[in-house]
């Protein structure tokens, strides 16, 4: 936390946008302590450094995993927390930590809960590589290109005519735009 505090003190950012987290649901069930240490502990350290340096605007990359298995679809933003895995629980705890820190020191925040982020930089300048790959669209493209044995869609009990699942996706560029809009809103005095 010393280095983090020094960086914030030196550069005095107008806001912090927090994306750093482990984010594999399956891995979180196999090694929950790793997820709590990284996701919750890292966020706590960041918030402490912000408090110590007077940086008071925070945008948090959360997840739909805080909702667990929804009672209603589409899921309203005010749906209760009901995470069903350690990853979702860490995001829920971080959201609560934000509320409690905002009550304790000058902090305003925005939380963005993603569902299915997809896509890539249109110019192909930036991206990410997962080994092993776990995301649906890259796996589908690998199968279409003949680079894998196939593509499996899990589940056959959804309330659709054919029993298959319907998924909505949000493009990563739209997510980037949403984060910029959240920072601007905070800087213009929006409430948490």
C-alpha closest to that of 112 among 16, 18, 13: 18
Structure tokens at 107: 């902090």
Contacts for 67 with CB less than 8 Å, ≥ 6 apart = 75, 79, 80, 81, 82, 83, 88, 113
Structure tokens at 93: 């705890």
Among residues 24, 87, 114, 158, the one annotated as catalytic is: 87
Tell me if residue 87 is catalytic. yes
Secondary structure E strands in the chain: 16-18, 57-63, 108-114, 117-118, 170-171
Structure tokens at 96: 């609560």
**Measured between alpha carbons, how far is 48 from 42 in angstroms, rounded to an integer?**
10
**Measured between alpha carbons, how far is 50 from 15 in angstroms, rounded to an integer?**
10
Active site residues: 87
């Amino acid at each position: 936390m010393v280095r983090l505090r020094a960086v914030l003190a030196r550069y005095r950012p107008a806001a912090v946008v927090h994306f750093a987290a482990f984010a594999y649901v399956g891995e979180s069930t196999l090694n929950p302590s790793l997820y709590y240490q990284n996701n919750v502990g890292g966020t706590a350290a960041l918030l402490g450094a912000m408090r110590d340096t007077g940086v008071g605007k925070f945008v948090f990359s959360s997840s739909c995993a805080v909702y667990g298995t929804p009672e209603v679809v589409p899921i309203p933003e005010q749906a209760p927390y009901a995470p069903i895995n350690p990853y979702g629980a860490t995001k829920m705890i971080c959201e609560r930590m934000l509320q409690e820190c905002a009550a304790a020191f000058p902090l305003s925040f925005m939380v963005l809960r993603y569902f299915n982020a997809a896509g890539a930089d249109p110019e192909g300048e930036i991206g990410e590589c997962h080994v092993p790959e776990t995301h649906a669209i890259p796996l589908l493209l690998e199968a279409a290109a003949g680079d894998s044995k196939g593509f499996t869609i899990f589940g056959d009990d959804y309330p659709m005519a054919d029993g298959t699942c319907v998924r909505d996706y949000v493009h990563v560029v739209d997510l980037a735009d949403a984060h910029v809009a959240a920072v601007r809103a905070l800087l213009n005095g929006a409430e948490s």
